[in-house]
Structure 1
Amino acid sequence: MSQTALIVGAGDNLGSAIARRFAREGLHVVASRRSGDLSKLVAQIHADGGAATGLHSDARDEDAVQQLVETAERIGPIAACVFNVGGNVRFPISETTTRVYRKVWEMCALAGFLVGREVAGRMQARGRGTIMFTGASASLRGNSGFSAFAGGKHALRALAQSMARELGPQGVHVAHVIIDGLIDNPDTKTLFPDLFEARGPDGILNPDDIAEAYWQLHAQPRNAWSFEMDLRPFKEPW
């Protein structure tokens, strides 16, 4: 039975790049997202000689997450899990509704907890595995207009750190990846055309290069584990 890599938040850009990277190493990728087309990603992985299954699931729903993890485990034991759900919104605090704040918290924090808990139980029993959470600049610092997003990402980082301290001695590697900068995709090109032009291709994060860092975290020997990695273009002010 082949091992699986569960990618929660397998969007068209970074999530798909992570899925393709793990598939190249021979893991059966279980790619999940709440909505949107997964068939292209699955077909691409198959065309490249890999194995993949696409499953729609709402990571905020406890029953749905439990079913997702059980399905992935039936395909093969989960060796790596990447929680890559976004939730980036920007509103002035006076315009941040309760609905928006709750939804962003559910996407960033609650969903991360549900996925992490369900996967951790399986990995604990085997004494091995890697769980990785995608963070952002907002995981470390708040900023004007980002009260909801920063609150959710701060909570996700705290979850990851707590899990790492608890599960590390049991053989389960938990890591948090801070993405500090614009990721190259059609949405960010539309929103920030001036930055794309000014910084050039090396000034914007390439999804495939980010995905390589996730694989390297998973491949780390247990005598030299990283909890946190930050990735940013050389032109990114920080």
Structure 2
Amino acid sequence: MTRTAVIAGVGPGLGESLARRFAAEGCRVALFARTADFIEELAADLPEPGDGLAVPTDLRDVEAIRDGFDTVRAEFGSVDVLVNHASGASWKGLMDSSVEEFEGAWEVGGRGAFVCSKEAVGDMLDSGGGTVIFTGATSAVRSLGGTIGFTAAKFAARGMAMDIAQEFGPEGVHVAHVVIDGQIDGPNARERFPDRSEDTFLDPDEMAETYWHLVEQDAIDTMPFEVHITNGPQNTEFL
């Protein structure tokens, strides 16, 4: 079965690994991100048998998201898989955060994921089902303090995932939330976090295997909602 997948929020690291893994499984993969050059190069370099489509999209812009899904449908048909992968960085506490910074994190991780989900689930209901995956973080389940914008957006996304799962699970839409509990390895990650030990970094290619496993479960009766990715009991350094 050839699936059409949208990855909303693609950059070097896990987003790229997801695109490559899904394409290797034969998916037609649409890449949403603001940085056009990166996703265009990645789309052209995805492994066969999948196809890639770069869709430059600002996930803070509701109409841009809707236009992006229209582009995907015109090129690949209806959407079978959505990964809400984007996050808005707001690494400040209550008193240091501005309203604009708080809203910026929510516009991407909250409202952006809502609009993407609405577009994708509409397609899935017409075609008999599909998969929606939300990329979460430690902050989606346990506040760390001092990152109020990021935490609020991640809590919102987790709540949306639960609600969509309850509403549309009976219609064949598998919704899953992935808690990433550790630092993803990627370009410059080790340079940015020189004090972290080697075994605290998460391999994005291995993580992408977990996401694909969730996609493959979209047609079974017993489906996991939440998966917690970490690098074992030795991990004591969290996002």
Query: TM-score category by the smaller chain?
Result: over 0.9
- Give the CA deviation at 1:65: 1.2
- 8 A contact 2:33–2:56 mirrored in 1: yes
CA distance in 1, matches of 2:89, 2:229: 18
Distance 1:213 1:19 in 2: 13
Q: After the TM superposition, which residues 163-182 of structure 1 pair with which residues of structure 2 at under 5 Å, given as runs?
A: 163-182=164-183
The reply to whether residue 214 of structure 1 matches residue 211 of structure 2 is yes
Q: Which residue of 2 aligns with 1:51?
A: 51
Distance 2:221 2:159 in 1: 23
Per residue, is there more helix in 1 or in 2?
A: 1
1:2–1:77 CA contact under 8 A, matched in 2? no
- What does residue range 184-199 of structure 1 map to in structure 2 within 5 Å? 184-195=185-196, 198=197
Question: RMSD over aligned Cα, in angstroms?
Answer: 1.7
Separation (CA, whole Å) in 1 of partners of 2:220 and 2:211: 15
Query: 1:2 & 1:226 partners in 2: Cα distance?
Result: 23
Q: Secondary structure at 1:38's aligned position in 2?
A: helix
Separation in 2 of the partners of 1:90 and 1:145? Answer: 7
TM-score of the pair, normalised by structure 2: 0.92
Give the paired residue count. 233
**Does 1:205 find its partner at 2:202?**
yes
Q: Separation in 2 of the partners of 1:98 and 1:108?
A: 16
Q: Identify the residue that residue 60 of structure 2 maps to in structure 1.
A: 60
Cα 1:98/1:205, change in 2 over 3 Å: same
Identity, in percent, stands at: 34
Could you state the TM-score of these two structures normalised by the residue count of structure 1? Answer: 0.92
Matched, 1:10 2:7: no
Q: How much has 1:7 moved relative to structure 2?
A: 0.7
- Structure 2 CA distance, aligned partners of 1:169 and 1:69? 24
Secondary structure at the aligned position of 2:82 is classed as strand
Amino acid at match of 1:119: A
For 1:159, what is the secondary structure of its paired residue? Answer: helix
Tell whether the 8 Å contact from 2:80 to 2:120 is kept in structure 1 after alignment: no
**Structure 1, unaligned stretches of length 5 or more?**
none
CA offset at residue 216 of structure 1? Answer: 0.1
CA contact (8 A) 1:60 1:114 kept: no
